[in-house]
Amino acid sequence: MSAQTPSKRLTTRDIAAMRQRGETVAMLTAYDATMAALVDMAGADMILIGDSLGNVVLGYDSTLPVTLDDMIRHAAAVKRGAKRALLVCDLPFGAVTDPQTALVNAVRVLKETGVEAVKIEGGLSMVPTVERLVAHGVAVVGHIGLTPQHVHQMGGYYMHGKDEASARRLREEAKALEAAGAFAIVLECVTPALAAEITHSLTIPTIGIGSGKDCAGQVLVINDLIGLNITPPPSFARPRADVASVIRTAVAEYVAETKAERGPIPLVLRAD
């Protein structure tokens, strides 16, 4: 089936079947209907409405200021644009302070946006929350390693799993999240060797970002993939295009042509 062939929307069962077949899961972010439609038509299996929209759309320095209302607005837009990919919405900072709060917020996201799943950052401390959500019918993607919502607690952005204590914790977290019912786990900035080990130890897919090539899938921020940035992308992202340059050139030509075609417009003074 070509990437352009219409198809039913993928489900968590489809993602599980891909893992069993050894088929890689391709995941990208999107934050609006147009980009979601383009990503969807190109064949992405999963689309993440990430709280990274704080950085790449809303102009924040981190994901922390992103609100639940922000996520719902953008997730609903993505839902209107994508027809095939399974849609996952991040629960932002402050939305999962306890299992009951997380459940209320997750239910609101699913009801108001129509997405199929939510993603929660955190390891062992999030296990009771994942269990609570799954018990109430919410599909959950876990997220361990570098968790941007915990950037201040962690002390910055860096590779995880380099020492044995960190590696042991990540192994435990991955197993615990799988046991709690998560249907996939994002591994962000985990050392490639450890990411491969964790991937082989689980039956659910791992979705890597900056974690090497041996995860069961990969996710990237769409802006990093297509070069739609005003700052350099992360070192692990290889832009396939330079959309920012195309936009700058097109706008500059428009501005120049608009000014040249019209010339000075004389000011007509009214006689009072």
Per-residue 3-state assignment (H helix, E strand, C coil) for 53-86 = HHHHCCCCCCCCCCCHHHHHHHHHHHHHHCCCCE
The rounded distance, in Å, linking the Cα atoms of 49 and 29 is 6
Tokens standing for 250?
A: 């097109």
- Cβ neighbours for 178, distance < 8 A, ≥ 6 positions apart: 185, 202, 203, 204
The rounded distance, in Å, linking the Cα atoms of 47 and 222 is 10
The rounded distance, in Å, linking the Cα atoms of 40 and 216 is 20
Choosing from 121, 188, 197, 257, which is the catalytic residue? 188
The rounded distance, in Å, linking the Cα atoms of 161 and 205 is 19
Task: Give how far Cα 135 sits from Cα of 84, 100, 124, 195, 211, Å.
Answer: 26, 12, 17, 28, 30
What three-state secondary structure class fits 182? coil
User: Among this protein's residues, is 116 annotated catalytic?
Assistant: no
Q: Which residues are catalytic?
A: 188
